[in-house]
């Protein structure tokens, strides 16, 4: 009876280790994915800021196409 109990405890310990290792691997994978997503986000943010800068500087094509209207009609 004691031998069976020891065997079961040993198996339970091995399962805990395997589960812990799997969780650690999953955490590393999630952290890597998060870092990649942050890099993509920062790159996209940089592109958007460049677009905003170019439009505020007046380099947008067609900006001068609209005639200026006078207040006295």
In the prediction, which pLDDT does 42 show? 98
Domain boundaries along the sequence of the chain: 23-52
In the prediction, which pLDDT does 56 show? 86
How far is the C-alpha of 34 from the C-alpha of 42, rounded, in Å?
A: 12
Residue whose tokens read 């460049």? 50
**Distances in Å between the alpha carbon of 6 and those of 1, 3, 23, 60?**
9, 5, 26, 76
User: pTM of the full predicted structure?
Assistant: 0.56
What mean pLDDT do residues 14-21 have? 97
More confident residue, 65 or 33: 33
pLDDT tens across 43-70, in order? 999 999 999 999 988 755 555 555 556 6
């Amino acid at each position: 009876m004691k031998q069976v109990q020891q065997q079961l405890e040993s198996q339970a310990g091995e399962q805990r280790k395997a589960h812990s290792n799997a969780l650690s691997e999953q955490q590393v994978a999630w952290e890597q994915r998060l870092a990649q997503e942050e890099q993509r986000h920062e790159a996209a943010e940089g592109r958007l800021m460049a677009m905003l800068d170019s439009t505020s500087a007046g380099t947008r094509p067609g900006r001068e196409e609209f005639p200026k209207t006078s207040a006295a009609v």
